Chains A and B, each alone.
Chain A
Amino acid sequence: MAVTEKGADVVVIGLGASGGTAVLPLAEAGLEVVGLEAGPRYSVRDFPADEIRNDIRNWLGRAKVNSEVPTQRTTPASPTTPAIGASRMMNGVGGTSIHWTAQSWRLMPWNFVERSETISRYGASAIPAGSTLTDWPITYEDLEPHYDKVEYLHGVSGKAGNLNGTIDPAGNVFEGPRAREYPLPPLRRSGFTELMDDAAKSLGWHPFAGPAAIRSQEYDGLGACVYHGFCTWHGCHVNAKASTNLSPIPKAEKAGKLKVVENARATEIVVGSDGRVTGVKYIKGNAEHFQPAKAVLVAGYTYENVRLLLLSRSSAFPNGLSNNHGQVGKHYLAHTRAGANGVIPGRRLNRFSGTGSQWTALDDWDSDFFDHSGLGFIGGGTMAATMEAKPIAAARTTPPSLPRWGSAWKAWLKQNAIAVASTSTQINTTPYESNFIDLDPTTKDPHGIPVARVTQELKPMERAAAQFVGEKCRDWLLAAGAAETWLVAPNAAAIQTHAYGGTRMGDDPDEDVTDRWCFSHEVPNLGILGASNFPTSGGRNPTETVMALAWRTADQLVASWSDRTG
């Protein structure tokens, strides 16, 4: 029998980027919060600069995700296989906000209205066949106050390009208007990021120092970046990265309103006779516990949000919680990517150090900032030239014209590894009826619980967009002096950290799992946090939007407390 814990106002499942953000406004409102986290607490000692431990073996994911990675298949007719490549989600207090690259973006205003703007400018035929593309139920302006809160909570580093409508070419001239400047200046410029800045300008583009949720200076008692070069997939050894375990979680604990339960694996969200949720079952050690609560916020990764809902079956929800309309797992998006590499002969680019968010970025080929007539796609992607080329990754970055081993390969590395420049893009990806998440009928985790299964195929429109922007990445390298260049083929790994949809937010209960506040259409006291709410991916990293949405949901829970929990 489960051990029943003392009742809480709110139980949050997962203390990562989303859950770890939501606990702060809840605690500040005086609510009693319990946070269930599948992993332990880590300290800076656990973050050694070690590419094998972190990038290759994903040591920080060993508490849970490494043994329950979703399976994948391209279509229902194709074979199901284990995930291809590393799935680098992780578990621990702070979650994946511990080891993210921390390229910290607001989505573009256009991303919230892609469908209506596309039809308005290019006609309905510009929406690809099979797409379930929809506008977001909220606009950029709706989310701006919470973007601002997130940036000022952590100390995001950057330069505004649009302050209340006033454009500053030192920042991103394409961004949506922001109420105030970034709290911290951009991270240090390096020789390479300046080289790419100059190259972009020579093409008439609008480069800028990309925004980073890494502190360029000490902020709120937390450390500043030391540029050591082992940042992505690593925790920060000087506490310079915006990780929720460093700021909102300890603040909520200090307020006496947050109880963190480490190494607690949620197994079921329990539903009462009135159709509302009553709490969460979890396993800690060998014991099953039940945590009663007046409201539940599901805050795992996209895959885990969907999985836990589908596993939480009851008489009121026989096909999984909040799934009486059959939408849980639908509208799944795996971020599409592309890029280019090149050798700038004879130059020492010194890209081994820094972070992936010490970078030059540009948005000239994103959103609807260029005419898409006749191009065969909508959207585009932000383009990036970053530091932090770690050594094993650098040894992999060789041209396809070169053998993959032997003396010629080795001599090439000796001569050119230090001269390789890389550029990349993340492509705005839209949902399709045929891309979705469900439970794997055969593969189970070590507890005997089915893992998630992803059915996902890179579609022609996203491939076309990736090819187009990938060629722009190559142009950028050529302008920087590259001789030999080679493209990174358009790709959309089915299982990845940029995973969206599955509990799509929207105003239509027949099509969308959550409402405009990210609460379930079917269960008033169940909120869902994270990128599983996103109707589209945007052409850039999701985490700042994840944090802003989570904060907004928590504020709404406080504002509507008696209605939702009465």
Chain B
Amino acid sequence: MTIEGERSGALSRRSFLRRAGVVGAAAAVPVGVFASEVATAPERERLETFTATEADTVDAMLGRLIPADGSGPGAIEARVLRYVDRALSGDLADSRPAYSAGIAATNAYARSRFGDDFADLTATQQDTVLDEMERSVATGFSPNSRAFFDLLREHALQGMFGDPVHGGNDDFIGWDLIGFYGVKLEVTAAEQQLDVTVVPAHKSVVDYPMFSGARGRSKGHGRH
């Protein structure tokens, strides 16, 4: 794989560098190094909605909203981006224009504030941009930056804590975070007692054949 992958929607060079923990100045890493190491980086599947550049921005924003840190993996690892990307070509298609405009406005604001696109800022700078968006003091958004922040946060919650069948919550990262054990078709009296630790089932709704014929069940979006 080469940086050509960016045009086909695969992991961009920028994404690789960020996932590898090198941002900002480290972007000077030679292309040859990137190409030889990409196989070890989490691979982004073919995008259904976003351009690769848009995906980089959104993934970086999600990664600060729900960061990987001492309390465990975050939105990037849970592939919340995949949830948003798929939903915007499906049930949430009405939000597509808001994302196009919001991403462009986020990057424009990031450049005006710190001189680079959002995905290329340091984590601290990214948090500052998000904070200013949440407080609606970031400029250049329509109708305002809080609206786009709230939209993305809402979809971040859906992608982090919703069923993996929709593309996010990969490896049940979101459910493990809040102590939800996964879909069961029956819950016992013992499992409803106080202070009992219910063993994680780590099951998605797709793991139950009785629902496989459900009308409206998305095809080919099974979890990985």
**Chain A neighbourhood of B211, CB < 8 A:** 45, 47-49, 237
Contact B157–A347 (Cβ < 8 Å): no
- A395 contacts B178, C-beta separation under 8 Å: yes
Q: How far is the CA of A404 from the CA of B64 in the complex (A)?
A: 12
B67:A410 contact, CB within 8 angstroms: yes
A30 interface hit (Cβ, 8 Å): no
Q: Is residue A266 within 8 Å, beta carbon to beta carbon, of the partner chain? A: no
A143 lies within 8 A of chain B by Cβ? no
Contact between B195 and A405, CB atoms less than 8 A apart: no
A78 sits at the interface (CB 8 A): no
Is B28 interfacial (CB 8 A cutoff)? no
Binary contact readout B68-85 vs A (1 if CB under 8 angstroms, 0 otherwise): 011110100000000000
- Number of B residues with CB within 8 Å of any CB on chain A: 55
Does any Cβ of A come within 8 Å of B26's Cβ?
Answer: no
Q: What is the 8 Å Cβ interface bit string for chain B, positions 166-196, against chain A (1 contact, 0 not)?
A: 1000000011011111011111110111111
Main secondary structure of the interface of B (DSSP, over half): loop
Contact (A56, B194) CB under 8 Å given A226-B185, A228-B184, A414-B71 = no
B213 within 8 A of A: yes
Known contacts: A57-B91, A418-B179. The answer to whether A228 contacts B65 by CB under 8 A is no
A286 at the interface (CB under 8 A from B): no
Q: Are B213 and A45 in touch, CB under 8 angstroms?
A: yes
Complex CA–CA separation, A387 to B189 (angstroms): 13
Contact of A417 with B by CB under 8 A? yes
Query: Cα distance A267–B121 when bound, in Å?
Result: 56
Indicate if the CB atoms of A410 and B162 lie closer than 8 Å. Answer: no
B191 and A353 form a contact (CB under 8 A):
yes
User: In this assembly, does A561 line the interface, its C-beta being within 8 Å of a C-beta of chain B?
Assistant: no
Q: How far is the CB of A263 from chain B (nearest CB, A)?
A: 13
Bound CA span A281–B195, Å: 58
What is the size, in residues, of chain A's interface with B at 8 Å between Cβ atoms? 49
**How far does the Cβ of A525 sit from chain B's closest Cβ, in whole Å?**
37
Please measure, in the bound complex, the distance between the C-alpha atom of A417 and the C-alpha atom of B189, giving whole angstroms. Answer: 21
Inside 8 A of A349's CB, which chain B residues have their CB? 194
A237 touching B210, Cβ below 8 Å: yes
Would B205 and A50 count as touching, CB distance under 8 A? yes
Is residue B215 contacting chain A, with contact meaning CB distance below 8 A? yes
Partner-binding segment picked from A122-130, A146-154, A189-197, A323-331: A189-197
Q: Smallest CB-CB separation from B67: which chain A residue?
A: A407
A405 to B62 alpha-carbon distance, docked (Å): 10
A348, B178: Cβ atoms closer than 8 Å = no
Chain A positions within 8 Å of B213 at CB level: 45
B67 to chain A, nearest CB (A): 6
The answer on a CB contact under 8 Å between A348 and B194 is yes
Let me know if A406 and B183 touch, CB within 8 A: no
Count chain A CB atoms within 10 A of each CB in B91, B161, B174, B212 and give the residue with the most: B161
Q: How far is the CB of B157 from chain A (nearest CB, A)?
A: 5
Considering the complex, which residues of chain A in the window 34-59 have a beta carbon less than 8 Å from any beta carbon of chain B? 42, 44-53, 56-57, 59
Tally A-B pairs: CB < 8 A: 153
User: What is the minimal beta-carbon distance from B106 to any residue of chain A, in angstroms?
Assistant: 15
Per a CB cutoff under 8 Å, which of B74, B187, B198, B217 touches A410?
B74
Closest chain-A Cβ to B33's Cβ sits at a distance in Å of: 30
Contact (Cβ within 8 A) A417 B178: yes
Tell me the complex Cα distance, A192–B195, Å.
Answer: 10
Instruction: Assess whether B103 is interfacial by the CB under 8 Å rule.
Output: no
Residues in chain B near residue A352, CB distance under 8 A:
179-181
A1: interface (CB < 8 Å): no
Choose from B66, B72, B157 the contact partner of A396 (Cβ within 8 Å): B157
Chain A neighbourhood of B183, CB < 8 A: 49, 228, 230
| In the complex, chain B residues 26-71 whose Cβ is within 8 Å of any chain A Cβ | 64-67, 69-71
Residue among A46, A53, A348 facing the most chain B CB atoms (10 A cut-off): A53
* Cβ–Cβ contact A190 & B185, under 8 A: no
A190 pairs with B193, CB closer than 8 A? yes
- Interface set, chain A 162-201, CB cutoff 8 A to B: 188, 190-192, 195
Using a CB–CB distance below 8 Å, which chain B residues touch chain A?
64-67, 69-72, 74, 91, 127, 130, 134, 153, 156-158, 160-163, 165-166, 174-175, 177-181, 183-189, 191-198, 205, 208, 210-217
Cβ contacts A to B, 13 pairs, < 8 Å: A45-B211, A51-B163, A53-B163, A195-B194, A227-B188, A347-B194, A348-B197, A350-B193, A392-B158, A405-B130, A405-B156, A414-B72, A417-B177
- Other 13 A-B pairs with CB < 8 A, given A44-B210, A395-B178: A46-B214, A52-B158, A195-B194, A226-B187, A348-B179, A348-B194, A352-B180, A391-B161, A392-B157, A407-B71, A411-B69, A417-B178, A418-B179
